[in-house]
Amino acid sequence: MMANRKWWIVGFLALAVGLTTGSLPGTVEPAPPVSPVRSDPPAAALQGSNVYLGVSSCASIACHGGPIRPPMEPAPPAWQSSSTVWVTKDRHAKAYNVLWEPRSKDIVRLLNGGDNLKPPEPWNDSRCLACHSLHSATADPGIVSDGVSCEACHGAANGWLVPHTTVAWRNLPQRKKYQKPFAMRNTKDMIPRVEVCIGCHVGQADSEDGSPRDVTHSLIAAGHPRLAFEFSAYMANMPPHWKTATTQATKSEASAWIVGQALAAQAAKELGAAHAARGSTEFADYDCYACHHELKSESWRRAQAEAHHDRRSAPGELRLSTWYTGMLQRVQPLANLDLKTATAAEAAKALETWIDGQDAAGLRQIMANLATQAADALHWDDATQCYLALVALDDARLAAAMPRGSGPSETDTRILESIKSLNHQLAFPKDSNSPRNYDPMQFRTEMRILVDLLTGKNK
Ligand code: HEC
Ligand code: HEC
Ligand code: HEC
Ligand code: HEC
């Protein structure tokens, strides 16, 4: 019955490779900001927390609503145009509007069992608003309609809006800004930043306001894109409204990748546990390809089964999704850390320290190892996650290998080209919502070329 079902998964891959060339070392940031300073001391902070004030309190021209930075130097500092970038370029600004589109109504109509007596109102539906807006009992409708706005990531602003424009704020130790009475959310450090994203992009059984954030199989079958989050790629795909030096210089793409892997796996596990506690089998926790077949007779999932590389499933047994766990299982043994008793945040921190301690040669070795394992993985999810890992690790490797101002070597360029060709293999065809053209044997061949380049066998 399911043999002819088609896919619907987002084709986010095409953009992801831009990462590698987009953040090579050598970008110099302009002079420090001159802010619209007020004299109120931070102590004048409003009391109480979780009162959202809305984009309009951030977007004035003198604050974050300035013109987008012109390409010439010296450009005004990034923070002056944060709001302008968000409103003109960032998909988060459209997240509420999308709920008024026919496809959102279709999703909710199907979720309601096709019941036409109850008109679908996704823009009023907490099953959608939990992720598509600043959802909160205390937020007024005008703020909800801003979509995923500033405070969804930076925290409710009532505690810090006024203080953060003062001179005293600038001299305040960073950690104090994240504590009461201010309680700004920390997006500077990698771990709390990833935690912000995964609440919506992986999901969360209990969000701050109590409504679950969950893209279940029912939502997917009703037409919602499958959530297939990978932090370093999503971060790279968000139009930056910040000073890129602060995100790129101190932390590498490799650390963004590994922290993202560790925390997303934990979030997926927690969501899975919540499904289990509910007593239901949530199909979204399982391998999509275990039930959905491709039309093509020589489909890759069959090739995979025949190659006996997938030991996690036997006939008749459902295979759990490996999207959030596969790479972590492959990279952890390389780090050789004892993480048995560590919390997810501790494990993320330890892995981050480990990978940040690698030089270019070390990163290259990790890449070669993961690529060797991926050449045998064959599964589209695993292959894609490995590709995303290679993009991030190669970015960090180049940053570590190249002294400021120098260009990539000939081998570096060939490695990059080889990684790009993998993207081509994995991407969805233009007219399709599934990886219809993915050919595991060709993927394996290209992966082996890359392994040879990385290990120096192919000069
Ligand atoms: C767990 C959080 C979450 C929930 C709950 C959720 N969404 Fe989404 N939705 C997302 C994310 C994240 C994306 C972007 C997916 C991507 O590109 O990776 C998205 C994308 C979409 C898109 C495609 C948008 C585009 O620009 O192509 C539509 C339409 C949509 N959601 C509608 C809905 C509706 C209707 C509901 C309620 C029934 C809902 N969503 C519930 C997180 C969620
Ligand atoms: C989807 C999450 C998200 C949303 C929505 C968002 N931001 Fe950010 N913002 C970030 C992240 C991540 C950073 C990077 C943190 C860093 O390194 O400084 C950041 C950084 C900033 C910075 C620091 C700039 C710098 O160069 O130091 C400012 C200012 C800022 N955001 C303002 C805003 C404003 C104003 C809005 C709404 C119009 C907004 N943000 C919406 C995630 C978000
Ligand atoms: C409050 C929920 C929420 C949070 C927090 C959030 N997002 Fe999103 N994000 C969404 C939704 C919903 C969409 C889909 C919007 C649409 O297309 O209409 C989205 C879309 C995106 C997209 C565009 C995806 C595509 O297919 O082009 C990127 C990139 C992204 N988010 C990155 C991030 C990052 C990085 C963070 C953390 C710093 C983050 N998001 C935090 C809800 C959220
Ligand atoms: C245990 C088997 C199973 C798993 C695992 C599973 N599905 Fe399904 N899927 C089904 C069944 C059965 C239906 C038809 C009933 C329904 O609509 O819920 C379906 C329906 C769908 C539909 C609607 C198709 C249509 O033609 O209307 C989509 C899209 C879909 N699934 C995508 C996915 C994705 C993406 C995943 C992985 C995150 C997944 N499924 C995992 C069994 C599964």
In order of 160, 175, 176, 188, 363, the CA distances from 180 in angstroms are 9, 10, 8, 18, 40
CA 355 to chain centre: 19
Residue 311 DSSP SS3: coil
Given the CA of residue 12, which atom of ligand 3 is nearest to it?
26
Please classify residue 254 by burial: count the beta carbons closer than 10 Å to its beta carbon, then call 0-12 exposed, 13-18 middle and 19+ buried.
buried
Residue 320 DSSP SS3: strand
Alpha carbon nearest to ligand 4 atom 39, residue:
288
Contacts of 5 (CB under 8 A, 6+ apart): 292, 293
The per-residue pLDDT for range 243-278, each reduced to its tens digit, is: 876 554 446 899 999 999 999 999 999 999 999 998
Q: What is the distance between the alpha carbons of residues 186 and 196, in angstroms, rounded to a whole number?
A: 9
Residue ranges lining ligand 4, Cβ < 6 Å: 2, 5-6, 8-9, 217, 220-221, 226, 283-284, 286, 288, 290-292, 318
Q: What is the distance between the alpha carbons of residues 87 and 91, in angstroms, rounded to a whole number?
A: 8
Task: Please check the confidence at residue 8 and state whether its pLDDT lies above 90.
Answer: no
What is the full DSSP assignment across 185-228? ---SSHHHHHHHHHHHHT-BSS-TTS--B---HHHHHTTPPBP-
What is the full DSSP assignment across 33-82? P----B---GGGPPPSS-----GGGT-STTTT-SPPPPSSSSPPPGGGGH
Q: What is the pLDDT of residue 401?
A: 85
Q: What is the pLDDT of residue 435?
A: 80
Q: What is the pLDDT of residue 40?
A: 35
Q: What is the pLDDT of residue 376?
A: 81
**118 pLDDT tier (thresholds 50, 70, 90):** confident
Q: Enumerate the domain spans of the chain.
A: 35-221, 253-455
Q: What is the pLDDT of residue 306?
A: 54
State the residue for tokens 């003198």. Answer: 62
Q: What is the pLDDT of residue 369?
A: 96
The per-residue pLDDT for range 358-412, each reduced to its tens digit, is: 999 999 999 999 999 988 877 899 999 999 999 999 999 998 887 666 788 899 9
Radius of gyration for the alpha carbons in the chain, expressed in angstroms and rounded: 23
Backbone φ and ψ for 255, nearest 5 degrees, come out as: -70, -35
Given the CA of residue 196, which atom of ligand 2 is nearest to it?
2
Mean pLDDT along residues 81-89: 94
Given the CA of residue 148, which atom of ligand 3 is nearest to it?
1
Q: Which has more pLDDT, 78 or 304?
A: 78
Tell me, which fold does domain 35-221 have in CATH? Flavocytochrome C3; Chain A, domain 2 (1.10.1130)
DSSP label of 117: T
Count other Cβ atoms within 10 Å, centred on residue 456. 10
**295 pLDDT tier (thresholds 50, 70, 90):** very low
What predicted TM-score, i.e. pTM, was given to this entire model?
Answer: 0.90
Task: Please check the confidence at residue 343 and state whether its pLDDT lies above 60.
Answer: yes
In order of 9, 283, 288, the CA distances from 318 in angstroms are 20, 10, 10
Mean residue pLDDT across the chain: 81
Q: What is the pLDDT of residue 93?
A: 97
CA 104 to chain centre: 22
Alpha carbon nearest to ligand 4 atom 27, residue:
221
Mean pLDDT along residues 122-151: 88
Q: What is the distance between the alpha carbons of residues 372 and 367, in angstroms, rounded to a whole number?
A: 8
Backbone angle region of 336, left / alpha / beta, with phi > 0 → left and psi within -120 to 50 → alpha: left
Cβ(271) – ligand 2 distance below 6 Å? no
Q: Which has more pLDDT, 200 or 402?
A: 200
Q: Which has more pLDDT, 341 or 429?
A: 341
What is the full DSSP assignment across 334-402? HHT---TT--HHHHHHHHHHHHHT--HHHHHHHHHHHHHHHHTT--HHHHHHHHHHHHHHHHHHHHHHS
* Alpha helix stretches (DSSP H) within 249-336: 253-277, 288-291, 300-306, 326-335
Share of the chain above pLDDT 90, in %: 57
Q: What is the distance between the alpha carbons of residues 354 and 424, in angstroms, rounded to a whole number?
A: 31
Q: What is the pLDDT of residue 140?
A: 81
Is-contact 168 41, C-beta < 8 A?
yes
Alpha carbon nearest to ligand 4 atom 12, residue:
2
Task: Please check the confidence at residue 14 and state whether its pLDDT lies above 80.
Answer: no
**123 pLDDT tier (thresholds 50, 70, 90):** very high
Cβ(128) – ligand 3 distance below 6 Å? no
Q: Which has more pLDDT, 13 or 52?
A: 52
Mean pLDDT along residues 77-84: 91
DSSP label of 404: T
b/e burial code for range 63-96 (CB count within 10 A of at least 16 → b): bbbbebbeeeeeebbbebbbbbbbbeebebbebb
Mean pLDDT along residues 13-22: 32
| Ligand 2 centroid – CA 2 distance (Å) | 44
Q: What is the pLDDT of residue 274?
A: 94
Alpha carbon nearest to ligand 4 atom 2, residue:
291
Choose the weakest-confidence range: 88-92, 118-122, 375-379: 375-379
Mean pLDDT along residues 221-227: 92
**134 pLDDT tier (thresholds 50, 70, 90):** confident
Is-contact 146 55, C-beta < 8 A?
yes
**203 pLDDT tier (thresholds 50, 70, 90):** very high
